[in-house]
Amino acid sequence: MSFFIIFICIVMLILLISWAKINGFLAFLITAILAALLLGIPLEQVSGSIQQGIGDTLGSLVIIICLGVMLGKIVADSGAAQKITETLMKIFGTKHIQWALMVTGFIAGIPLFYNVGFVLMVPLIFSVVYQFKLPAVFIGLPMLAALSVTHGFLPPHPAPTALVGQFNANLGLTLLYGIMIAIPAIIIAGPLYAQTLKKIKANPLQTFQARKLEQHELPGVANSFLSSLLPVLLLILFTILSMSVSKDHPLYPMIAFFGDPAIVMLISLAIATYTLGLKMGKKMIDIMNTYADGVKDVAMILLIVAGAGALKQVFADSGVNDEIAGLLLGLSIHPLVLAWLISAIIRVCIGSATIAGLTTAGIVAPLVTQGNVDPNLMVLSIGAGSLMFSHVNDGGFWLFKEYFNVSIKDTLRSWSMMETIVAVVGLAGVMVLNMFI
């Protein structure tokens, strides 16, 4: 009976978002309240359960996500992303422009929030298309594949960061594993698959060509790369150090402190504030206003994450998690494949990768807490599934269609198939890693 109630609630969540067009945060709240009532949580405890879920979820996320958005904003506004692109174009040359844009998308996509990254990177794609008179979809898809993968797989993006917190995974290890899986996924879904798309006719709109900053306005090459990638470098460094030093070592507390994701993001933002802001002649008040604008872009995402936390807490407080665990453990499907499949189904139904990942996390959490699967790989499996087959109910689908000015048929053939390849290759990468971890 409990499983049937959960099924009804998930269907209701999907209908509220996709059919009734209700905001994701409100849809999660309504669903969480209904689930609490149907699962037998006493009326006087429903509100407390929801508040606890929201508080516990946001408490571990809000610092990392907000600081990550601020970092991405200054990377974009300072011209660091433009400098990275120009540098890689010189290294790879005209013959390998696709690879240059793909690497740019991967590097810039780590600190940049997805929507910001898309809007920033697409004009760079178009500038290359106009300059070298090349097919837009063929040239642009590899970069967009990189942006999509970093959004779905890698912290500090909202969904993977939230899943790390929910599963008590190691953010540094998740990032390291995620990069290992992301590289082949991007290559296959990007440059390789794009070879089949050369004949797609696209007429990128002139409106979307961004004004390029003058060379004297841009930060240096080393400054651009290091400021953008510093969080990744620090997380990997401290993860390696923490694995190399025993917990009773005198240096371990210091390593644990500076290796905490929130501290890493704060240090990285402080350095970028100087290297990409003050050092470039910007005033502190203007930099702070830039950060405030960036946080506005992610406010609704944070609320959606909070709503998912409320639903997860209702499942936990009602005791239904144990029933779910018993049912799922009885299936012959591998837990990582099962999580990927659930995430993929919700993604196709709802359209939001973030909501798909967070909803799945609440369903499969018992599998992780009972120690049946590596939590870092579970984060990545769900992340891969959450990118499955973007279509007409996904905002990213329409961004691609309108910016590249292509037909719905060609959008399905290019964008939707690229997302599908990323999801499938991501699962394959997770399963390969699972053989060795």
Amino acid, res. 136: A
Q: How confident is the model at residue 321 (pLDDT cuts 50, 70, 90)?
A: low
Neighbours of 20 (CB within 10 A): 11
Residue 388 is given by DSSP the state S
Q: How confident is the model at residue 257 (pLDDT cuts 50, 70, 90)?
A: very high
**Would you say 162 and 57 are in contact if contact means Cβ atoms under 8 Å apart?**
yes
pLDDT at position 336 is: 95
Nearest to 380 by CA among 352, 357, 355: 357
Q: What is the 3-state secondary structure (H, E, C) of 415-435?
A: HHHHHHHHHHHHHHHHHHHHC
Is pLDDT at 51 greater than 70 in this prediction? yes
Please name the residues in contact with 186: beta carbons below 8 A apart, sequence gap of 6 or more.
102, 106, 142, 145, 146, 149, 422
* Domain residue limits, the chain: 2-434
pLDDT digit string, tens, across residues 325-349: 666 666 788 999 999 999 998 888 7
In angstroms, what CA-CA distances link 75 with 144, 172, 274, 279, 388? Answer: 18, 22, 12, 14, 29
Mean pLDDT, the chain, integer:
87
12-21, 66-75, 84-93, 201-210: range with lowest mean pLDDT: 201-210
- Structure tokens, 115: 């929507």
Amino acid, res. 43: L
Neighbours of 296 (CB within 10 A): 9
pLDDT digit string, tens, across residues 79-107: 887 888 788 888 888 788 899 889 988 98
pLDDT digit string, tens, across residues 23-39: 889 998 999 999 999 99
pLDDT at position 206 is: 58
Return the higher-pLDDT residue of 176 and 134. Answer: 176
pLDDT at position 57 is: 78
**Would you say 142 and 162 are in contact if contact means Cβ atoms under 8 Å apart?**
no
Place of tokens 């933002």: 269
pLDDT at position 424 is: 98
pLDDT digit string, tens, across residues 266-297: 999 999 999 999 999 999 999 999 899 888 87
